[in-house]
Amino acid sequence: MVRHGDVEGGAIEVLGAGPGTNVSKEIAKLISLAQHYEFNSVMVDVTRNVDIAATFASSDWESGKRAREGGGVIYRFDALMIEKASVDMLKGGVRSPLLGPLALLGVTDVHEIGFDLQRPVRQQGGSLFGLETAAAHFLFQMHGALEAFVFEEDDVGAYDIPEMNYLRPADDPGLAVFDMSARDQVEPLTDDEIADGLRRAGKSDKEVARALSWRRDGII
């Protein structure tokens, strides 16, 4: 769960190409969307809604059934504090003369992405990236950006929290966009595929050639 400052329901800032990250907004959103449709990434799914967080913390992902025993944990992240932590990480990070600051920490919001993708809308979802680095955990603690709330099953059993089937609808058009059959493919992208994607993103031939050269040299 992400809390953005003290404003209930306030928009989560998308940090692409901003403080703490050299990932573009578009790429961060794409990775977050793929993560919501069960493609693997280093991101962690988050929501702005505590009831939805309670469903994920107390339900089995595969069956959607509520846990009969035991409790759960809801982690609350403060997006504003994460932004401050990301700036600190950037100040102490490594810089590359070609790629600029090498730091990955931030929050991306996809709950209003459109395109009739139902999972991120119903889950009021976004993603947090950077948790795989020890420095991020230290900075979260230093800035008070993370709180953990432990609860027992009885604490949520009496409340009308969303069912998993609602949060993960079977008729979601996004399932056709993010084809599960391709989820486990490990073949790397070809140069032609990368060049086509970069040109679609508006990159010049010179920029495409530079990116392909960096790839061949093992820089990216």
How confident is the model over 167-185, as pLDDT tens digits? 999 999 888 888 777 666 6
Please provide the DSSP assignment of 126-195 as one string: EEEE-TTSHHHHHHHHHHT-EEEEEEEHHHHHTS-PPPHHHHS-TT-THHHHS-GGGTT--PPPPHHHHH
Say whether both 174 and 191 belong to one domain.
no
Same domain, residue pair 95 and 204: no
Same domain, 47 and 105: yes
* Residue 123 sits in the same domain as residue 205: no
> Is residue 115 located within the same domain as residue 201?
no
Same domain for 9 and 114? Answer: yes
Kindly report the pTM of this predicted structure: 0.68
Asked whether residue 56 carries a pLDDT value surpassing 80, the answer given is yes
User: Is there a single domain that holds both residue 113 and residue 11?
Assistant: yes
Highest mean pLDDT among 1-15, 17-31, 148-162, 190-204: 190-204
Same domain, 126 and 217: no
pLDDT digit string, tens, across residues 4-17 = 333 233 333 333 34
79-125 pLDDT, tens digit each: 787 777 766 665 554 444 444 444 456 788 888 887 788 999 999 99
CA-based nearest residue to 139, from 109, 106, 108, 95: 106
Same domain assignment for residues 35 and 120:
yes
Q: Looking at the structure, tell me whether residues 175 and 193 fall in a common domain.
A: no
Residues 124 and 196 in one domain: no
Question: How many structural domains is the chain composed of?
Answer: 2
Residues 70 and 9 in one domain: yes
What range defines the domain where residue 219 resides?
A: 187-220
